[in-house]
C-alpha cells in the first residue's frame, strides 16, 4: 500500500473477486476530508470487503489503494471487544488516552467521555468482565472513538447496539469532522448521517448515488415504475391520473402543525445540550443529566418524526 501525504484514501482501478464472483471492477474513488458515505446493497455483494480493503485488512487483486500519512482509522464491526487483561472500565479507557480532544480546543477526560456514553462514575470502577453483553459492545464502540480516528468505519452498528447507545453515537457523529463510512440497512440512521451512497448493484458495479437512503429508495421506486410503464402500451391520448392524496382531517392537520413546532423546539434543545456537552468544565452530575436528556430527546424526535412522516404522506 502506498502512502498519500496530506490526503485521505484514494482507490485507483481496484479489482477484487472471490472465485467467479466479482466484488469490485476497476473501482476509482478519492475520499475527501469530512465526507460522509453510506454503503448499501444486498448481502454478499462486497460491502464489508470494501471497508476492509480501505483499511488494508484485505488486499485488492489489482489496482492501488493509497492512504494519507495522517489517516487514523477507527473500525467498529461485530467482531467485538478484545480484552487481554481484566481491568476496571476507567483503567481500560485510560490505557488508550487520558483525554479526548474537542474541535473547539477543549477536551473531555476519560471519565467524562465514559459518562457521555452512559457509564456513570460508579460503574467506571467495575471490571470489564462484569459488564453485560450490551455494555461491552458500548465500551467497544467508546474505545474506538476515544482513539480519536479521522477516518471512521461503522459496519452494521444498529445490529447490536441498543437505542440509547445509538442515540449518543448519532449525536457524537453529527459533530464528527473526519471521514465517515457507514455500512447499514437502517434507513433512519443513515438518513441523518450520510451525504451520499455507494450502492453495490452486484457484478462488481457500484453506483455513487448523490443522496441519502430514503432518497435512493424513492429514486429506485421511480425507476421500477418507469420500467413497468414502458412494458405497457398505452393509447396516445391516454391520461393516467395519479391517486388522490388523502385529505387530512381538522384534527390531523392540527396534530401536524403541533408536531412541526415540537420538533423544532426539540432540535433546538438538542443543539443547546450538545454545545454544553462540549465543555470540559462541566460537572459530573450535570454531564450525566445532560447525557440522559439528550438520549430521551433523540428517542422522542424519532417517534414524532415517524408520525410527522405518516401525516405528511
DSSP 60-103: -SEEEEEEETT--EEEE-TT----SS--BHHHHHHTT-SEEE-T
Report the alpha-carbon distance of residue 264 to residue 253 in Å, rounded. 17
Query: How much of the chain is helix, strand and coil, in % rounded to 5?
Result: 45, 20, 35
CA–CA dist 101, 266 (Å, integer): 27
Q: Quote the CA–CA distance of 144 and 285 in Å, as a whole number.
A: 25
- Count the alpha carbons within 13 Å of 199 in the hemisphere toward its beta carbon: 15
* Sites in the chain below the pLDDT cut of 50: 3, 5, 232-243
Q: Where are the alpha helices (DSSP H) in 32-186?
A: 47-55, 89-94, 110-116, 133-146, 163-174
Taking alpha carbons only, the member of 118, 111, 113 closest to residue 90 is 111
Do the Cβ atoms of 76 and 153 come closer than 8 Å? yes
Distance CA 186, CA 40 (A): 10
Whole-angstrom Cα distance, residue 62 to residue 65?
Answer: 10
Name residues whose C-beta falls within 8 Å of residue 76's C-beta, 6 or more positions apart in sequence.
Answer: 140, 141, 144, 152, 153, 154, 155, 157
What's the pLDDT at 84? 74
Give the burial string for 239-254 (b: 16+ CB within 10 Å, else e): eeeeeeeeeeeeeeee
Does the model's pTM come out above 0.85?
no
First to last CA, the chain: 49
In 3D space, the residue among 192, 104, 204, 112 whose CA is nearest the CA of residue 154 turns out to be: 192
Residue 97 burial (10 A CB sphere; 0-12, 13-18, 19+): middle
Read off the pLDDT of residues 87-101 as tens digits, 9 standing for 90 and up: 899 999 999 888 888
Residue 39's pLDDT is 92
Q: Give residues with Cβ within 8 angstroms of 36, minimum separation 6.
A: 179, 180, 182, 193, 194, 195, 196
What is the model's pLDDT at position 256? Answer: 82
Amino acid at each position: 500500500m502506498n502512502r498519500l501525504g496530506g490526503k485521505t484514501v484514494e482507490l485507483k482501478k481496484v479489482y477484487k473477486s472471490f472465485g467467479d464472483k466479482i466484488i469490485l471492477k476497476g473501482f476509482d474513488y478519492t475520499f475527501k476530508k469530512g465526507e460522509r458515505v453510506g454503503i448499501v446493497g444486498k448481502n454478499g455483494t462486497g460491502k464489508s470487503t470494501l471497508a476492509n480493503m480501505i483499511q488494508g485488512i484485505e488486499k485488492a487483486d489489482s489496482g492501488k489503494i493509497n492512504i494519507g500519512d495522517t489517516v487514523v482509522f477507527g473500525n467498529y464491526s461485530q467482531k467485538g471487544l478484545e480484552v487481554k487483561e481484566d481491568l476496571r472500565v476507567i483503567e481500560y479507557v485510560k490505557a488508550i488516552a487520558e483525554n479526548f480532544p474537542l474541535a473547539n480546543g477543549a477536551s473531555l477526560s476519560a471519565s467524562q467521555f465514559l459518562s457521555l456514553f452512559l457509564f456513570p462514575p460508579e460503574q467506571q470502577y467495575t471490571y470489564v468482565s462484569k459488564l453485560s453483553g450490551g455494555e461491552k459492545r458500548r465500551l467497544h464502540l467508546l474505545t474506538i472513538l476515544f482513539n480519536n480516528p479521522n477516518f471512521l468505519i461503522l459496519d452494521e452498528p444498529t445490529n447490536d447496539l441498543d437505542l440509547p447507545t445509538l442515540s449518543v453515537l448519532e449525536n457524537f457523529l453529527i459533530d464528527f469532522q473526519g471521514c465517515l463510512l457507514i455500512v447499514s440497512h437502517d434507513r433512519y440512521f443513515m438518513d441523518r448521517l450520510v451525504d451520499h451512497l455507494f450502492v453495490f448493484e452486484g457484478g462488481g458495479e457500484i453506483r455513487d448515488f448523490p443522496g441519502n437512503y430514503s432518497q435512493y429508495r424513492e429514486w429506485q421506486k421511480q425507476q421500477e415504475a418507469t420500467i413497468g410503464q414502458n412494458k405497457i402500451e398505452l393509447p396516445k391520448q391516454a391520461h393516467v391520473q395519479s391517486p388522490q392524496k388523502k385529505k387530512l382531517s381538522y384534527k390531523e392537520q392540527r396534530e401536524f402543525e403541533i408536531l412541526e413546532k415540537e420538533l423544532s423546539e426539540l432540535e433546538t434543545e438538542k443543539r443547546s445540550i450538545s454545545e454544553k456537552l462540549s465543555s470540559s468544565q462541566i460537572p459530573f452530575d450535570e454531564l450525566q443529566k445532560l447525557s440522559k436528556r439528550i438520549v430521551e430527546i433523540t428517542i422522542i424526535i424519532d417517534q414524532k418524526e415517524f408520525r410527522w412522516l405518516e401525516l405528511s404522506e
